Amino acid sequence: MGLPWICFSAFAVCLASCLKFHGHKVIQVQLETEEHVKLIKSMDKTFNLDFWRPDSSSRIAPKMTVDFHIHANHTETILHLLKQNTVHYEVLFHDLQAGIEAQLDNSRLRKSQKHKYNKYNDWDTITDWASKMASEHSDLVRLIDIGNTYEGRPMTVLRVGQSNAEGPAIFMDCGIHAREWISPAFCQWFVRELVSGYSKNEEIKKLLTNLTFYILPVLNIDGYVYTWTEDRMWRKNRSPAEDSDCFGTDLNRNFNVSWCDIGSSDEPCTEIYCGKSAQSEEETKNVANFILSHLKSIKAYISIHAFSQMILYPYSYTYELAPNSKELIPLLDRLMTGLIHKAYNTPSPLSCGTQASVVSSSPSLRYEPPVKKLHWPSNTSPIMFSLILPNKFCYTYCILH
């Protein structure tokens, strides 16, 4: 049971109409056999499970750890079925609503709507923050409008770098999936690290002398707003589908590379709907146009997600390795074992690789292909990474998917 949910509309945090998740559970299962996989897939058909990891039942396989969210009404039946079929499971959230409320950090929200780096900020607060970064650090930060979302919100890239020249650049997006709140929080934190580091950290200063970062703090703004006002678990954008009552395209699967291939769905009501055509959505079109118009300078594209502890790299839609994988794998391996391992002191449940060939010491962490559709044709392709932020260290309070 969660605490009574008090709505403060002044703060735009979940209005009275907001979808509630009382009694909903998030379950983690360890799948061993093909029978287990079949069971979960058939349960998905019957109960419409909401997959958190991986993000659809089409990608589950034996020896995998799978997390999904179940409706309160189905809890008893599902847990019974799991027991009956000897599927080992663990309940990650006993009451999802309580988890959401804890995460919203109400008491602090009520006091002020000031931007904070250690809590989640709503969209208006992030917009004000971006303007403030540009005005307070005009030597380093510039805002670039790349077009509007479906609902007409301007998408603003923060260009961070000392040079005005079209030198080498890295593009980073956060919040392509609306409910992955830790991702936009990361982008804001990253911008702060860059601007504050510039004056006191030689390495960052050197980095920003010739290198430019293009940072899009929330790619799926309409969806992000919707997670604050209507449904915390919303993932896609907010454009209505044709010939369907369902809303939203999975923007991550709307790019014009191997579009709507395995791992995506052409069914508008699914969470992995690829849209009616490649780049049919305003948000993906705007990002693609921006990248294409800066192809000479952009050397890498990083997309930040939740949750897992992985770095994914090209390609995601095939088992074939990217041409530069010989350079990439050792680099990413070093990053994983060095930086992240050191920071969190985890044994090694970290993996690094494409969905197709995850370099991992733990087979349960293999991420089956393909998930990431955010690639560019190889002849014009910037190097592409996708970081999935950790789940393990703050499960119950900071990483609701």
Q: Which residues bind Zn ion (CB under 5 A)?
A: 177, 180, 305
**Which of 71, 159 has the CB closer to ligand NAG?**
71
Decide if residue 191 touches ligand NAG (CB under 6 A). no
Amino acid letter, 381: S
Q: Which of residues 352-391 bind ligand NAG (CB under 6 A)?
A: 377
**Which of 256, 362 has the CB closer to ligand NAG?**
256
- The single-letter DSSP state of residue 240 is B
DSSP 20-70: --TT-EEEEEEE-SHHHHHHHHHHHHHH--EEEESSSGGG--TTEEEEEEE
Residue span binding ligand NAG (CB under 6 A) among the ranges 58-66, 127-135, 205-213, 293-301: 205-213
Helix (H, G, I), strand (E, B) or coil at 201: coil
CB of 112 to Zn ion, least distance (A): 30
Decide if residue 22 touches ligand NAG (CB under 6 A). no
Decide if residue 289 touches ligand NAG (CB under 6 A). no
User: Which residue of 97, 149, 188, 279 would you call a contact of ligand NAG, by CB under 6 A?
Assistant: 279
CB of 256 to ligand NAG, least distance (A): 4
d(CA 291, CA 285): 10
Decide if residue 209 touches ligand NAG (CB under 6 A). yes
**Which of 37, 389 has the CB closer to Zn ion?**
389
Decide if residue 256 touches ligand NAG (CB under 6 A). yes
Decide if residue 206 touches ligand NAG (CB under 6 A). yes
DSSP 151-199: TSPEEEEEEE-S--S---EEEEEE-SSTT-THHHHHHHHHHHHHHHHHH
Q: Which residues contact 215 (CB under 8 A, 6 or more apart)?
A: 157, 158, 159, 160, 172, 173, 174, 187, 190, 191
Residues that bind ligand NAG (CB under 6 A): 71, 73, 206, 209-210, 256, 278-279, 377
